[in-house]
Amino acid sequence: MSDDRLIVALDVPNAIAGLELAGKLGDAVSFYKIGLGMLTGGGLALANELKGEHGKRIFLDMKLFDIGATVEAAVRGLAQFELDFLTVHGDPHVVRAAQEGKGGSDLKILAVTVLTSLDRADLDAGCIKPGDIRDIVLERAINALNAGADGLIASPQEASLLRALPEAEGKLIVTPGVRPAGADLGDQKRVMTPAEAIANGADHVVVGRPVWRAEDPRAAAQAILRELASPQAKRPNS
């Protein structure tokens, strides 16, 4: 059984390409992320096929944000597919609505704090209040957890701070912005290696381009899995 701490992002054009990549990865990978970019390319159908026919775990990365009633209705519809993780923005009204929508399902609602592609200059451009980005992440995280989030999406650079929050006890921390040593950073600005992210308190790391752009995606995934199994990925005092 593959180590499900690794979530491979299927950031490919459509469901056909996603199935082809999953076929190359085979039993090396057990957990996949399907994002908004593939929604019109058969993303939900791909999620259902990977889950129902191949036994994979699925993280649906929709980053929902709307009025409460709309979020609740959207999550209620998605919960019927028995997927594993779903992202929403960490605003408390959104988190509360998502929890209402998921009902008694096992779907985990993960709150986005600050996108890992953003830095302080981006927050300034978006008229977000001044302050250190880590302080804003912490404040948003606490508010989301108090609103009932099952976990958090955050940069691996903030994972240790989030893991130390009393409110985060027993909650999931999932980190995009993860790149193996030497990999191209792409559009990510706040990054760490997979081992560093796990050591800092993450439960799962999300890796996309370094796997699906590799000449041998399965070998690339297996290299990450070896890193996750190394002593460098061990949390202090664990």
Would you name the residues annotated as active-site residues?
63
**Helix (H/G/I), strand (E/B), else coil: 30:** coil
CA distance 128 to 168: 24
Residue 113 CA: distances (Å) to CA of 57, 90, 143: 23, 6, 10
- Compute CA 205 distance to the chain's CA centroid, rounded to the nearest angstrom: 7
What is the SS3 assignment for 167-199? Answer: HHCCCEEEECCECCCCCCCCCCCCCECHHHHHH
CA distance 11 to 99: 27
Residue 213 CB partners (closer than 8 Å, separation 6+): none
Residue 225 CB partners (closer than 8 Å, separation 6+): 2, 3, 6, 28
Backbone angles phi, psi at 112, to 5 degrees: -85, 130
